[in-house]
Amino acid sequence: VQGGRDRLRIAIQKSGRLADPARALLTSCGLSWRESRDRLFCYGESLPIDLLLVRDDDIPGLIRDGVCDLGVVGRNVLAEQDIALRRDQGASAFREWRSLGFGGCRLSIAIPETWEWSGAAQLAGLRIATSYPAILGDWLREQGVDAGVVELSGSVEIAPKLGQADAICDLVSSGATLAANQLKPTVTLLESEAVLAGPVKPFEDSRAALAELLLRRLDGVLRMRH
């Protein structure tokens, strides 16, 4: 699949927390689609703006590779992949264009309930489990704290119980999951929500006008929602 020049392609989550609100927001912007039989592609009908339905983790890479023009993704995912990419390539390939006001959560350090929190220095020499090693690594460096980072792709909150780690760095919304695992949140590394992500460089073909139209409508909808 090649990034179209006269159509705009937006990647959104296929299923999960951001899937329905992302689609509802774009519908509020006057977009409508005809779905492909495999339900992975939605062809724009009211405007030449198509959707690709994917895993959220794939969205930054799809923008970087030009497969998609824009994407709706958590700031947490975008920031993690941006740090990793800048470390590898020395430059960003995508950035946040708008914050969208849904999917709110925090990326926080959590420690066992029974511990007293005295600050970042307390983490020195401990093992911290996370799915966000780049964000955590940068933060630990900023704090001047030398701790072990244990990268896990899921079930991070049970790592302390399993003896894989002493503390965790994970997304928190209500805090119920932490409480169920006898953990408590301490410091927040990132306040996250869903964002519209796009390339660092502006479009140079007819996608520019389409993106501008979409942003104008989006800003109107976001203002009304406030």
Which residues lie near Zn ion (CB under 5 A)?
A: 56-57
Residues 107-146, interacting with ligand PRT (CB under 6 A): none
Q: Choosing among ligand PRT, Zn ion, none, which partner's interface includes residue 141 (Cβ < 5 to 8 Å by kind)?
A: none
Q: Choosing among ligand PRT, Zn ion, none, which partner's interface includes residue 12 (Cβ < 5 to 8 Å by kind)?
A: none
Name residues whose C-beta falls within 8 Å of residue 158's C-beta, 6 or more positions apart in sequence.
181
Per DSSP, the three-state class of 41 is strand
By CB under 6 A, how many residues form the interface with ligand PRT?
Answer: 22
Binding residue (CB under 6 A) for ligand PRT from 50, 56, 80, 82: 56
Residues 146-175, interacting with ligand PRT (CB under 6 A): 157, 170-175
What is the rounded CA–CA span in Å between residue 195 and residue 102?
Answer: 9
Q: Choosing among Zn ion, ligand PRT, none, which partner's interface includes residue 3 (Cβ < 5 to 8 Å by kind)?
A: none
Residues 6-25, interacting with ligand PRT (CB under 6 A): 13, 16-18
Provide the minimum distance between the beta carbon of 157 and ligand PRT in the complex, in angstroms, as a whole number.
6
Query: How long a stretch of residues is the chain?
Result: 226
Q: Which two tokens stand for residue 225?
A: 């929602």
Binding residue (CB under 6 A) for ligand PRT from 7, 21, 43, 57: 57
- For every residue of 151-201, DSSP letters joined together read E-SS-GGGTTTTTS-SEEEEEESSSHHHHHTTEEEEEEEEEE-EEEEEESS
* 18-134-158 Cα angle (round to 5): 70
Nearest to 199 by CA among 82, 42, 112, 111: 82
Interacting residues with ligand PRT (CB under 6 A) = 13, 16-18, 55-57, 74, 76-77, 103, 105, 157, 170-177, 192
